[in-house]
Each structure stands twice: as structure tokens, then as C-alpha cells.
A and B are shown apart, each in its own frame.
Chain A
Amino acid sequence: MIIATAVTGPQGAVLFAAGAALDEYSLEQLRRRAIEFVTVSIPDPRDEATIAREVAEATARIDYIFRGSSSSARAALRETILSYRRKQAE
């Protein structure tokens, strides 16, 4: 398994760069440093239609939970979450 985004310690130092292998050794190092989570790259078996459907579902859910009028702070939060969810679904 491959680490997708750099893992940093509490002081911000990079412990593992993106692209490093997640193996027994690196897992032990992560445990010792009490790293709570890492992001990993996994092969994506979905076809384009599935991805498009999942993006549409994520967008529809955001529209639902943000229903009603919004202050500019709420509208900006909606945009941030929408962008995050789309990236996750794509």
C-alpha cells in the first residue's frame, strides 16, 4: 500500500513523504509516534458512469443538508464541503 499524502509529526516535520510504502516498518514507526491516521492510495475499480453517479449523489446530499437560506459564511462552508466531497467521489 502507498501513502498518498505526506505524514507529518506534531511539529510539522515530514515523517513519510507521499509515495512511500506502508509496510511493517512504517506502520511500527507510525504507532510509535502516535500518528492517528494516514491517507493511502488504492486502485479505483469504478468506471466513469459510477464516478459520475457518486459525484451526483454527494452533490444532492450537500444540497439537501444545506437547504434554506444562507449567510455568506454558511454559503462559503457549503462550497468548501462540496469541493471536498466531489474530490472524494472523483
Chain B
Amino acid sequence: MNEKISPPNLEALLEGACKLPTLPQVVTHILRSLNDDNADADSLVQQLNTDPAIVARLLAAANSSAFGLSAQVATTRQAILVLGLKTVRTITLATALIEHFSHSTSAFDSRQLWRHSLGVATCARAIAERIRCNPEAAFSAGLLHDIGQILMVAVAPDSCAEVRVRMRQHDEPIIVAERAVFGYDHAAAGGALAKLWNLPDDITSGIHGHHTPDSGDDGEMGDLIHIAEAVSHALDLGEAERNHVPEVSEVAQFRLGIEWSALAARLPEIEARYAGARLALGL
């Protein structure tokens, strides 16, 4: 007889966080420097040079024909000069996260999750630029918003497979299926993990609040990631076959002051940025 394993409660799930690799130091460094006006390129270069995969990705981007340089870019410092600090941070964060958290199972495709996260991050940055919120913090929160799913798959793969079955069979939104199986959802799990990792408060709020903005507990970043996720799904970024646009909070939209008609003018730019980022990341 097959015995069904009960999914862990949130506390037990967090105890299992040791099954995940630790957050790369370069990611922590970038996230902590996002709101620091005095952050310097020297310390970033030092961090970057400890990770060959990131250095390789940066040099590939800087040497790509898109930047039209005749001379070869051979060092991280030169790559920062060519690409700019913003692009370097983007490529670094995404490369480090994809490289360290690529836990796939037969029922869970982590590359699909990262394509989706990159879409949400791209939308979050564009919306943040419009409402004068920190675009880099918004991008980072977008990139990390579904980190709870990675934790749940690493600690409880069988229960996550059950979630996927429910989603397929009943066309349930992921949070409904997760709550039915686990009793909580990946936003709650991700928020708790972000706290455990000591991530900045605004990024933690974006992760925790992206499915429950109406509570108002997660402030502007919770609202922003919620709206960014809806736009990303609506634009089909990530191209999941069974893509489904989640419900949109009118309260979050109102609080951010976002009009769809105003955002419409930026949709081509969002799609172009997303395509460029996927190309740069080989995603």
C-alpha cells in the first residue's frame, strides 16, 4: 500500500531550507547595495570575480555584436564600462540565481520558472520607472518573487507534484492548489525564506505580497510585483503553454496609480527588454 507523505508545515519547510544552496555572496552584495548611493564598482568587481560563470556571461554580453565594439572586452571592469552598472547587476543577479537554484523534477521545470521570473522582473522595472519607485529593487524583487516555489520543490517534491496534478486536472491557479495541498502558498513560503536570508525589507515584501496585495501589509513593492506579474502573464512572457493571467487587484492598481492605457505605450519596450535579457542569459 502506498503511504501518502504529509506536506511539511511552514515551520518545517523552513527547517528544510538547508537543502537549498546558500544565497550566493554576490547576490547578497548586490541586493544590499541597491539602496546605497555610495555603492562602488570596486567591491562589485571583487565579488564578481569569485564566480567564473558570471564573469563568462558578462564578457559574452559585452563582446556580443549588439554593443558593436571592435576591441575585445577581457576583464570584468571593462565589461562594467561597456554594459553599464545596471545591466551588469541584472545579468549577475539572474545568472547567479539560475545557476544556483535550478532544481527541476519531472513535474517542475526550474528554467520555465526563471523565464517567468525574468518576465515579472522586466515588467516590475518598467512599472517602477513610471511610478518613481527604485527600478533595480523592483527588478530584483521580480526575479526572486517565486523563490518559495523552489524551496517547496526542494523540500517537498511529492507534494509539489500533487499541486501540479491539481492545476492540470482542475485548471486551478497555483496558489489555490498549493493552499489545498500545503495549507499555505509559495508567496508565504518565499516571504519567510527571504526573512530567513535577511533580504532587504522591500524585496521581502514583494515576494510575500505578490498574491495578496489587498491586505496592504506588504506596501508598494507587494502591489508592484502583483501588477507586474499580471502584466507579464498578459504579455505571455515565459510562454508557458498553460499560461493563465491571475486575478488583478483593483486596490493595488489604484494605489500604484497605474493606468493600463498609459502602460500600453511601454509594452513594446518591455517585450524588447525581455527578449534581450533572455538572449544575454541564454534562458
Chain A positions within 8 Å of B, measured between CB atoms, are: 27-28, 31, 34, 36-37, 39, 61, 64-68, 70-74, 76-81, 83-84
Tally of B interface residues using CB under 8 Å: 28
Out of B68, B230, B272, name the residue touching A31 (CB < 8 Å). B68
B231 beta carbon closer than 8 Å to chain A:
yes
Do B272 and A37 touch (CB < 8 A)? yes
Return the chain A residue nearest B272 by Cβ: A37
Partner of B84, one of A34, A64, A71, A77: A34
The contact of B67 among A31, A78, A80, A83, by CB within 8 Å, is: A31
User: With A and B bound together, what is the CA distance between A41 and B123 in angstroms?
Assistant: 25
B160-171: contact bitstring with A at CB < 8 Å (1 yes, 0 no)? 000000000001
Known contacts: A77-B245, A77-B260, A78-B245. The answer to whether A65 contacts B273 by CB under 8 A is no
- Show 21 A/B contacts (Cβ-Cβ < 8 Å), sorted by A: A28-B68, A34-B84, A36-B272, A37-B276, A65-B233, A65-B236, A65-B245, A67-B244, A70-B248, A71-B247, A71-B250, A73-B253, A74-B247, A74-B248, A77-B234, A77-B248, A78-B245, A80-B263, A81-B234, A81-B267, A83-B264
Chain A contacts of B264 at CB under 8 A? 80, 83-84
Smallest CB separation, B213 vs chain A (Å): 11
Knowing A67-B244, A74-B248, say if A61 contacts B236 (CB, 8 Å): yes
Q: Which residue of B lies closest to A76 (CB)?
A: B260
Interface of A is mostly: helix
Let me know if B261 is at the binding interface, CB within 8 A. Answer: yes
The digit string for B248-283, where 1 denotes a CB below 8 A from any CB of A, is 111001000000110110011100110010000000
Using Cβ atoms and an 8 Å threshold, which residues of chain B touch A70? 247-248
B contact residues around A68 at 8 Å (CB): 171, 244
Extra 12 A-B pairs, beta carbons < 8 Å, given A67-B171, A71-B249:
A28-B68, A31-B67, A65-B236, A65-B243, A66-B234, A70-B247, A72-B250, A73-B250, A73-B253, A77-B230, A77-B248, A80-B261
Does the CB pair A81–B235 fall under 8 Å? Answer: yes
For the complex of A and B, the 5 pairs showing the least CB-CB separation, nearest first, are: A37-B272, A80-B260, A73-B248, A74-B248, A73-B250
Taking the nearest CB of chain B, how far is it from the CB of A77, in angstroms? 5
Most buried by A among B171, B247, B273: B247
Cα–Cα distance between A76 and B262 once the two chains are bound (Å): 12
- Residues A66 and B245 in contact, CB atoms below 8 Å apart: yes
User: Distance (Å) between the CB of A60 and the closest chain B CB?
Assistant: 12
Q: Which residue on chain B has the smallest CB distance to residue A68?
A: B244
CA distance A28 to B70 in the complex (A): 13
Report the minimum CB–CB distance from A88 to chain B (whole Å).
9
Residues of A within 8 A of B244 (CB): 65, 67-68
Question: Which residues of chain B in 167-213 are interfacial with respect to chain A, using CB atoms and an 8 Å cutoff?
Answer: 171
- Pick the contact of B269: A31, A36, A71, A74 (CB < 8 A): A36
Provide the residues of chain B in CB contact with A28, threshold 8 Å.
68
